Chains A and B, each alone.
Chain A
Amino acid sequence: MNRRVPDAHPPDTPGRLPRRLSLQRDTAGTGGLRLSVSGRLDRDAFTDFLAEWQDLLPDIEAGRPERIAVDLAPISTADSAGALLLMQMETDLKQRAIAVDFLHASGDIEAMFTLLSEQAARAHAGPVRTDGGNPLVRVGDAGVRAYQEFVVLMTFFGEMIATLADAVRHPRSVRWGDVLVSVQRAGLEGLPIVGLISFLLGLIIAFMSSLQLKPLGAGVYVAALVGISVVKELGPIMTAIVVAGRSGSAFAAEIGTMKVNEEVDALVIMGFDPMKFIALPKILAAVIVLPLLTLYADLFAILGGLVVGVLGLDLTAQTYIHQTLQGIRVTDISTSLLKAVVFAVLIAGISCQRGFLVTGAAEAVGRQTTSAVVSSLFLVIIADSAFAIALHYIR
């Protein structure tokens, strides 16, 4: 049986609904017009009402009345949108030099009308924001800002290096408890994701290269290929990306929130150096964790390659490991660890700096956290390129 279900919200067509506006000659009055407004005057009826009003407007204008009386008595409910409609009617009529009298408004509508029009009148009292409209001015401003940000950043890194040097000289002054907490969060808790990503990365590289090398009978070189690419490049980079995403963002958000809660100010007043108290443990933790995570990532990537080697290339595990070790040199490992340390300083440093830049409210925390991750990735890739060039010429 095909039963027709009525629409929950039938389309509002002016033809189907009773008219909300009706126009009559004012018989009792001065020969003006009388407009009666009925029904709901609220946000649901807004669009239809406005359309109806605009249809009616030419009719009213044609009569060239001096005044018009609008009877509000039949209105059942009204809200701000309704009040806005009445204001619109008033404005439209005033533009056509027709005076308006609103009659029989209930107390509620009257009060709302007064409140809202007062607000509209006050809307321009606030301070005016002056943005440099001239594109040339804006470019100049952006340049000056970029320069100032650079100076702030360099000052921060200078301070950071001084604090690190001080920590090396006076290791007892470091808050090692906080360092341990950060090591746990940035390192230990990051093991599963770093392991998974590296394992799959090794697996994918081995699989893709085996497709190319196997037909040539060179499948055995997959081991060295995976080993070299992972240890020299991909291990440190992938780990740095994961740490920037996991911990860099956490550092920035934590410090930013402390800034918003005035905790940083409180520390300064209590005679603590925020750099030493908050940033240093995080930076040290990153410096400890990132090289270890990099080694761990290398290991898992090689393991991923090993799985492909054994299952897809019919190599024994022993051969695969032997081939891998043949491919990697000790200097490869040590430079990758050096890279990891540099990445750690850059990620933790810029993330803490972004955190300290937070001023104002929660929205700024979000903005600086994003900036922390983006800047971390940018600095890491720049540093990696610098390493690639430097290492090429050193050898």
Chain B
Amino acid sequence: MNPDIPAIAVENLTARYGERTILEGVTCAVRPGEVFLIIGGSGCGKSTLLKYMIGLYTPAAGRVCVHGVDLSTLDEEALLGMRKGMGVLFQSGALIGSMTLFENVALPLSEHTRLPDETIARIVRMKLALVDLAGYEDLYPAELSGGMKKRAGLARAMALDPSILFFDEPSSGLDPVSSAELEATITRINEGTGTTLVIVSHDLDLIFHIAHRVVLLDSEARGIIAEGDPHRLRETSRDRRVIRFLNRTIEG
């Protein structure tokens, strides 16, 4: 992978739900191998930006490039190929309810590879062990706790060894211990495999512990109001909104 080409480049993106504009003129780039966090208060368009990055929606204006390729120029098949290189952990895990954990994690493997069943089974067990879920293969999602569902979702997102992993609010709804465990797993993945991580979060612990770089979104500005290393931002930024968010204060 060429280190000069950003893993993801968002250029002048405008996002709308119906007539409501969520994001306007957003530009940012994710470097290969970095842990990139999209942060901001509730309703500022963090998850929306993520969904544009993975090509779930088509931008009203502007474009999103993944590894230098504009997603909107791709046809259905090429987009599919591009998505094989991306893994997404959705907020609730988004496991398919009618399938066991094993089947969920095996799903992308059996669809997109020609590996023999036995190999797939071994990969699935390996991925489940990576998120501390070895031995839970035959359970259904409904039988798992929220934290386990998230970890299982992570195992599935990593099934095809993606070069970019996306996380939508990974620590929401988790107790502090599970949250710290997930954080450790995330760091391990980034350091161990060099996978680019794009994480949507408003969890300050997570932001200061793992982020290489952040972009801070604001709902009134409909876009990015600060970008950079979160520690430096906290110390040097003069923007009241940035100080308020990063210091968890009500009055700026």
* Interface residues, chain A, with chain B CB atoms under 8 Å away: 178, 181, 257-258, 261-263, 265-272
Note all chain B residues with C-beta closer than 8 A to A257.
97
A266 near B90 (CB under 8 angstroms)? yes
Q: Is the CB of A270 within 8 A of B90?
A: no
Q: Which residues of B contact A270 (CB under 8 A)?
A: 83, 107-108, 111, 156
Q: In the bound complex, what is the Cα–Cα distance between A271 and B156 (angstroms)?
A: 13
User: Which residues of B approach A to under 8 Å, CB–CB?
Assistant: 51, 54, 56, 80, 83-84, 86-88, 90-92, 94-98, 107-108, 111-112, 153, 156
Question: What are 29 pairs between A and B in contact, CB < 8 Å?
Answer: A178-B98, A257-B97, A258-B96, A258-B97, A262-B92, A262-B94, A263-B94, A263-B95, A263-B96, A265-B51, A265-B56, A265-B88, A265-B90, A266-B88, A266-B90, A266-B153, A268-B56, A268-B83, A269-B83, A269-B86, A269-B87, A269-B88, A270-B83, A270-B108, A270-B156, A271-B80, A271-B83, A271-B112, A272-B107
Describe A's contact surface by its main secondary structure: helix
User: 4 additional contacts, CB 8 Å, given A265-B56, A265-B90, A268-B83?
Assistant: A266-B88, A266-B90, A267-B96, A269-B83
Q: How far is the CA of A272 from the CA of B91 in the complex (A)?
A: 19
Q: How far is the CA of A261 from the CA of B146 in the complex (A)?
A: 13
In the complex, which residue of chain B has the Cβ closest to the Cβ of A270? B108
A290–B111 Cα distance when bound, in Å, is 30
CA distance A29 to B94 in the complex (A): 69
Which listed residue (A181, A266, A271, A272) contacts B94, Cβ 8 A?
A266
Residues of A within 8 A of B95 (CB): 263, 266
Residue from A181, A261, A268, A271 in contact with B108 in the complex, judged by beta carbons closer than 8 Å: A271
Residues on the A chain within 8 Å of B83, using CB: 268-271
Contact B80 A269 (CB under 8 A): no
Contacts of B87 in A (CB 8 A): 269
- How far, in whole Å, are A265 and B168 apart by their CA atoms in the complex? 12
Interface of B: prevailing SS = mixed
Q: Are B96 and A271 in contact (CB under 8 A)?
A: no
In Å, the complex CA distance between A263 and B107 comes to: 13
* Min CB–CB distance A356 → chain B (angstroms): 14
- Contact residues in A for B92 (Cβ distance below 8 Å): 261-262
The docked-state distance in angstroms from the alpha carbon of A339 to that of B87 is: 44
Q: A270-B111, A271-B108 are in contact. Are A265 and B94 (CB under 8 A)?
A: yes
C-alpha spacing A261/B94, complex, angstroms: 6
| Complex A-B, nearest 7 residue pairs according to Cβ-Cβ distance, in ascending order | A266-B94, A262-B94, A262-B90, A271-B80, A270-B108, A269-B88, A263-B94
Complex Cα distance, B56 from A265, in Å, reads: 8
CB distance from A172 to the nearest CB of B (A): 13
Taking CB atoms, residues of chain B closer than 8 Å to A269 are 54, 56, 83, 86-88
Q: How far is the CB of A365 from chain B (nearest CB, A)?
A: 14
A181 to B98, CA, bound (A): 10
Residues in chain A near residue B108, CB distance under 8 A:
270-271
Chain A nearest CB, measured from B87 CB (Å) = 8
**CA A269 to CA B108, docked complex, whole Å:** 10
Shortest CB–CB separation between residue A237 and chain B, in angstroms?
31
Q: Which residues of B contact A258 (CB under 8 A)?
A: 96-97
Expressed in whole angstroms, the minimum distance between the Cβ of A196 and any Cβ of chain B is 29
Q: How far is the CA of A332 from the CA of B210 in the complex (A)?
A: 71
Q: How far is the CA of A269 from the CA of B80 in the complex (A)?
A: 8
Closest Cβ of chain A to B230, distance in Å, is 27
CB B224 to nearest CB in A, in angstroms, measures 23
Chain A residues whose C-beta falls within 8 Å of the C-beta of B54 in the assembled complex:
269
Cβ-defined contact, A263 with B97, below 8 A: yes
CA distance A9 to B94 in the complex (A): 52
Chain B: CB-nearest residue to A257 = B97
Given B56, B90, B111, which contacts A271 in the complex, CB threshold below 8 Å? B111
Contacts of A181 in B (CB 8 A): 98
| In the bound complex, CA of A262 to CA of B88 (Å) | 11
Contacts of B51 in A (CB 8 A): 265
A178 partner residues in chain B, CB cutoff 8 A? 98
Task: Output the nearest chain B residue to A278 by Cβ-Cβ distance.
Answer: B96
When C-beta atoms are compared, the residue in chain A nearest to B96 turns out to be A263
| Closest CB in chain B relative to A273 CB, distance in Å | 8
- Bound-state CA distance A257–B107 (Å) is 20
Say whether, besides A271-B108, A271-B112, A272-B111, A262 and B84 are in contact (CB < 8 Å). no
Instruction: Give the one of A178, A258, A261, A267 with max B CB within 10 A.
Output: A261
In whole angstroms, how far apart are the Cα atoms of A106 and B83 in the complex?
63
Task: Indicate if the CB atoms of A261 and B97 lie closer than 8 Å.
Answer: yes
Q: How far is the CB of A264 from chain B (nearest CB, A)?
A: 9
A258 and B111 alpha carbons, distance in the complex (Å): 20
A138 to B54, CA, bound (A): 37
Collect the chain B residues with CB atoms within 8 Å of residue A261's CB: 92, 94, 97
Q: How far is the CA of A181 from the CA of B153 in the complex (A)?
A: 24
Decide if B97 touches A271 in the complex (CB within 8 Å).
no
CB distance from B188 to the nearest CB of A (A): 23
Residue in B closest to A267 when the chains form the complex, CB atoms: B96
* A263→B84 CA distance, assembly (Å): 17
Shortest CB-to-CB span from A162 to chain B, Å, is 12
Q: Given the known inter-chain contacts A269-B56, A271-B80, please indicate yes or no for A262 contacting B111, CB distance below 8 A.
A: no
Chain A minimum-CB-distance residue to B77 = A271
* A178, A257, A258, A266 interface centre (most CB from chain B within 10 Å): A266
